[in-house]
């Protein structure tokens, strides 16, 4: 079974269907199945021909993973909700088999049985669409007094365990920023939930879509806390910021 990365769950439906995402911060196309990266602007060679990264990642997916469909169809049942028999039928449909051809391959002896499966799968598709709409509407209609602070989209460490209400968030900030939200920070707590609330507040002092040097990051964080290196490291560790491998450039993860 393919292990799905955080990047996969953060991807849109369109990105999952194409099998890759484009990371604007690093200017790379990233395969959602294996995580391989292809830098935009670099020319890649395959079968004695040259390709730009956007075209080459499609070749990579076809050569290494067959297709996004085949990656998804072979995921565990707890992720797809599909039985092995349903997966076999869907693979035959994807290959272009008619109901009669599918019946012969599966040995059912009846095209009506395949047609019934096709109908059931279409009903499942409708149910999935309605369920997605319900969950999106539910998220939009959470009462304001119980509204949860949004978790960064690309965070690798911060997940629903750290979700807190606006009221909880305000209490944490008041307790640790006794002179006001612009600092200084009285102490950096050991409890992760409180740390994340503080980091979520600090990241607001950085502009999105802007690159910072390490010195510039330190300069902003030093206004809040003497141990600015600790804050910088935690912003990276909890996925609020990212940086180049050599540490020459930092940016907010959107």
Q: What gap in Å lies between CA 195 and CA 169, rounded to an integer?
A: 11
Two structure tokens written together for 51: 């390709």
What average pLDDT does the segment 101-127 reach? 89
Two structure tokens written together for 173: 């900030």
Q: Is residue 155 part of a domain?
A: no
Q: Is residue 72 part of a domain?
A: no
Q: Is residue 22 part of a domain?
A: yes
Contact indicator for 253, 242 with CB cutoff of 8 Å: yes
146 pLDDT band, cuts 50/70/90, is very low
What average pLDDT does the segment 92-109 reach? 90
pLDDT > 90 in the chain, percent: 56
pTM higher than 0.85: no
DSSP states of 76-102:
-HHHH---HHHHHHHHHHHTT--HHHH
- Asked whether residue 137 falls in the same domain as residue 218, the answer is no
Please tell me the least confidently modeled range out of 189-198, 199-208, 210-219: 189-198
What's the chain's average pLDDT?
86
pLDDT of residue 145: 45
Domain that holds residue 166: 160-252
What are the backbone angles phi and psi of residue 119, rounded to the nearest 5°?
Answer: -65, -45
191 pLDDT band, cuts 50/70/90, is confident
Two structure tokens written together for 75: 């995921």
pLDDT of residue 246: 82
What average pLDDT does the segment 75-83 reach? 91
Span 7-45, pLDDT tens digits? 888 888 899 999 999 988 788 999 999 999 999 999 999
Q: What is the largest CA-CA distance in the chain?
A: 77
Flag whether pLDDT at 233 surpasses 70.
yes
- Asked whether residue 180 falls in the same domain as residue 243, the answer is yes
pLDDT of residue 148: 47
158 pLDDT band, cuts 50/70/90, is very low
162 pLDDT band, cuts 50/70/90, is low
Of 183, 248, 253, 251, which is closest to residue 221 (Cα–Cα)? 183
192 pLDDT band, cuts 50/70/90, is confident
Within 13 Å and on the Cβ side, how many CA atoms surround 32? 25
Flag whether pLDDT at 86 surpasses 50.
yes
What average pLDDT does the segment 229-254 reach? 88
Q: What gap in Å lies between CA 146 and CA 182, rounded to an integer?
A: 25
- Domain finish residue from 141, 175, 191: 141
Q: Is residue 187 part of a domain?
A: yes
Contact indicator for 232, 218 with CB cutoff of 8 Å: yes
- Asked whether residue 170 falls in the same domain as residue 128, the answer is no
Taking CA 238 as the corner, what is the angle to CA 35 and CA 10, rounded to the nearest 5 degrees?
Answer: 45
- Asked whether residue 167 falls in the same domain as residue 238, the answer is yes
């Amino acid at each position: 079974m393919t292990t799905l990365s955080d990047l996969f769950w953060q991807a849109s439906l369109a990105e999952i269907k194409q099998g890759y995402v484009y990371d604007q911060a690093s200017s790379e196309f990233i395969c959602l199945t294996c995580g391989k990266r292809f830098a935009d602007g670099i020319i890649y060679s395959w079968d004695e021909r040259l390709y730009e990264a956007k075209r080459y990642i499609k070749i990579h997916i076809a050569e290494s993973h067959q297709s996004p469909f085949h990656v998804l169809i072979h995921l565990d049942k707890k992720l797809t909700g599909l039985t092995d028999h349903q997966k076999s039928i869907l693979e035959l449909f994807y290959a272009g088999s008619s109901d009669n051809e599918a019946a012969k391959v599966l040995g059912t002896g009846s095209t009506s049985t395949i047609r019934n499966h096709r109908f059931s799968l279409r009903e499942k598709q409708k149910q999935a669409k309605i369920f997605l709409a319900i969950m999106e509407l539910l998220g939009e209609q959470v009462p304001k007094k119980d509204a949860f602070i949004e978790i960064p989209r690309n965070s690798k460490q911060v997940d629903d365990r750290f979700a807190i209400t606006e009221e909880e968030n305000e209490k944490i900030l008041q307790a640790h920023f006794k002179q006001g939200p612009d600092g200084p920070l009285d102490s950096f707590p050991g409890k992760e939930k409180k740390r994340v609330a503080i980091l979520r507040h600090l990241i607001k002092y950085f502009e999105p879509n802007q690159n910072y040097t390490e010195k510039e990051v330190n300069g902003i964080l030093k206004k809040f806390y003497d141990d600015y290196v600790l804050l910088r490291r935690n912003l990276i560790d909890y996925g609020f910021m990212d940086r180049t491998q050599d540490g020459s450039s930092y940016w907010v993860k959107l």
